[in-house]
């Protein structure tokens, strides 16, 4: 049984007695910083010169310094720049300015697991990884709830790294939901697998194939959009509430029977074999090497794939339909429709 933590298992005053530098003010960065601040923690944001995020952070009344200056004064440095930027940022701005006993925190274990960052022995190295997108980490906190977190300690130099990590997890609202004890290896490999095989890669491909199958057979794109994309959220909401069983209980018997007989025809045993191959590439480091090599070369593969995804007909159909859904526009996001191929 996994070891679980809740609010009562953590002492908020530990993180409240530290100076925390949050490096990066993107999806996770803004959520951690604002939740920490609202939990009474002394937070400074570290951003590169000319950063486009500076204005947003300053508009929230947060103190913004360069990465080097923010790190110099920090007891805890939470690195929330993109994974592919962390290695360079650590070598040039973070490591040379880190206090001898400062703790290094991450929200994903990528750079530690694959050896791109190797912290000195004097630092606590811990992870507080929300299991959800940053904008929901903030939204849930504001609404008095939290997004579950998984917590790990890679290096306990101080002897109190666990208490510090749990205190941080409580401050961002994660322990209002639950914290699960993990390791950097388990978090990194399972997170990459989940997002590639099921949550992002698997779900996106499934939706696109469903849309293509219906529209190529002559059905209206708008009808196809509702069937294979919009309604997916409603079905997944039921799964979150009561598992796959509740979803099957709520839909018609026709849908439930179709689920049993056609689901395994679409997602057949080959899919599981493919999933195992994806997991093997994650475990061996092959995925990490491919991602970082492409990023180091200016991300030509990544940019081409992003542009191809944005050009899929389901995006244009959805953009037009969503203009009519006042309720679908989130107020806490700066996402601009059609901007994905940036």
Ligand X SMILES: NC(=O)C1=CN([C@@H]2O[C@H](COP(=O)(O)OP(=O)(O)OC[C@H]3O[C@@H](n4cnc5c(N)ncnc54)[C@H](OP(=O)(O)O)[C@@H]3O)[C@@H](O)[C@H]2O)C=CC1
Residues of the binding site for Mg(2+):
191, 195, 227, 231
- Tell me which residue of 129, 66, 75, 131 sits closest to 104, measured CA to CA: 75
Record the tokens describing residue 15, joined without a space.
């993180």
Q: In the complex with ligand LWWEY6Y5, which residue's Cβ is closer, 199 or 297?
A: 199
User: With CB under 6 A as the contact rule, which of the stretches 10-18, 48-56, 153-161, 223-231 interacts with ligand X?
Assistant: 48-56
129 counts as binding ligand X under rule CB under 6 A: yes
Q: How far apart are CA 253 and CA 265, in angstroms?
A: 19
Catalytic residue positions, numbered: 108
Query: Would you say 154 or 191 has its CB closer to Mg ion?
Result: 191
Residues 93 to 122: which contact ligand X by CB under 6 A? Answer: 107-108
Q: Which of 21, 62, 80, 126 binds ligand X (CB under 6 A)?
A: 80
DSSP tag of 8: G
For the segment 259-318, give every residue that binds ligand LWWEY6Y5 (CB under 6 A).
Answer: none
Q: Which lies closer to ligand X via its Cβ, residue 112 or residue 224? A: 112
Sign, CA dihedral 56-70-80-86, equals positive
Q: What is the spatial distance between Cα 30 and Cα 41, in angstroms, rounded to a whole number?
A: 14
Contacts of Mg ion in 189-208 (CB under 5 A): 191, 195
107 interacts with, out of ligand X, Mg ion, ligand LWWEY6Y5, none, CB within 5 to 8 A per kind: ligand X
CB of 30 to ligand X, least distance (A): 8
For residue 22, the cross-strand partners are 45, 78
Alpha helices, DSSP H only, in the chain? Answer: 12-16, 27-38, 54-59, 67-72, 83-89, 110-113, 134-142, 161-171, 174-177, 184-193, 201-216, 221-225, 231-250, 253-266, 269-284, 286-296, 300-310, 313-322
One residue of 51, 66, 158, 204 binding ligand X per CB under 6 A? 51
291 binds ligand X, rule: CB under 6 A: no
Using CA atoms, how far apart are residues 144 and 156, in angstroms rounded to an integer?
Answer: 31
- C-alpha 224, offset from chain centre: 29
Question: How far apart (Å, rounded) are the C-alpha atoms in residues 155 and 165?
Answer: 12
The annotated binding site is made up of 25-28, 48, 51, 53, 134, 191, 195, 227, 231, 252
* 3-state DSSP of 85-125: HHHHHHHHHHHHHCCCCCEEEECCCHHHHCCCCCCCCCCCE
Partners of 76 in beta bridges: 20, 103
- Of the pair 51, 204, the CB lying nearest ligand LWWEY6Y5 is at 204
Count residues binding ligand LWWEY6Y5 (CB under 6 A).
7
User: Of 120-128, 172-180, 191-199, 322-330, which segment contacts ligand LWWEY6Y5 by CB under 6 A?
Assistant: 191-199
Site string for Mg ion, 145-184 (x = CB under 5 A): ----------------------------------------
Q: Please, which residue, 244 or 340, has the CB nearer to ligand X?
A: 340
CA 254 → CA 83, 152, 259, distances in Å?
A: 45, 44, 9
**Known binding-site positions for substrate:** 252
Q: How far is the CB of 109 from Mg ion (least distance, A)?
A: 10
The rounded distance, in Å, linking the Cα atoms of 166 and 258 is 45
Does position 133 interact with ligand LWWEY6Y5 (CB under 6 A)? The reply is: yes
Enumerate binding residues for Mg ion (CB under 5 A): 191, 195
């Amino acid at each position: 049984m996994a070891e679980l933590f809740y609010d009562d298992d953590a002492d908020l005053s530990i993180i409240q007695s530290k100076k925390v530098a949050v490096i990066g003010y993107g999806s996770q960065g803004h959520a951690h910083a604002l939740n920490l601040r609202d939990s009474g923690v002394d937070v400074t944001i570290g951003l590169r010169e000319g950063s486009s995020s500076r204005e947003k952070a300053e508009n929230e009344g947060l103190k913004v310094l360069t990465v080097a200056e923010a790190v110099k004064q920090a007891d805890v440095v939470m690195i929330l720049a993109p994974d592919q930027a962390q290695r360079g940022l650590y070598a040039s701005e973070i490591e040379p300015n880190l206090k001898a006993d400062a703790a290094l925190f991450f929200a994903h274990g990528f750079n530690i697991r694959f050896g791109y960052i190797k912290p000195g022995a004097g630092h606590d190295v811990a992870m507080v990884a929300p299991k959800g997108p940053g904008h929901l980490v903030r939204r849930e906190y504001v609404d008095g709830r939290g997004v579950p977190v998984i917590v790990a300690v890679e290096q306990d130099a101080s002897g109190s790294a666990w208490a510090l990590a749990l205190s941080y997890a409580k401050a961002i609202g994660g322990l209002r939901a639950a914290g699960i004890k993990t390791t950097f290896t388990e978090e990194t490999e399972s997170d990459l697998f989940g997002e590639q095989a099921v949550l992002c890669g698997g779900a996106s491909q499934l939706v696109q194939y469903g849309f293509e199958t219906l529209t190529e057979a002559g059905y209206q794109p708008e009808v196809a959009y509702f069937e294979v994309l919009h309604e997916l959220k409603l079905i997944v909401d039921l799964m979150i509430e009561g598992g796959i069983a509740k979803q099957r209980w709520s839909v018609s018997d026709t849908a439930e029977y179709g689920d049993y007989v056609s689901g395994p025809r679409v997602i057949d045993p080959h899919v599981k074999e493919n999933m195992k191959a994806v997991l093997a590439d994650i475990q061996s480091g092959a995925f990490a090497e491919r991602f970082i090599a492409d990023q180091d070369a200016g991300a030509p593969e990544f940019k081409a794939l992003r542009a191809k995804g944005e050009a899929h007909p389901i995006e244009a159909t959805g953009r037009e339909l969503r203009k009519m859904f006042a309720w679908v526009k989130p107020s806490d996001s700066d996402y601009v429709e059609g901007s994905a191929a940036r």
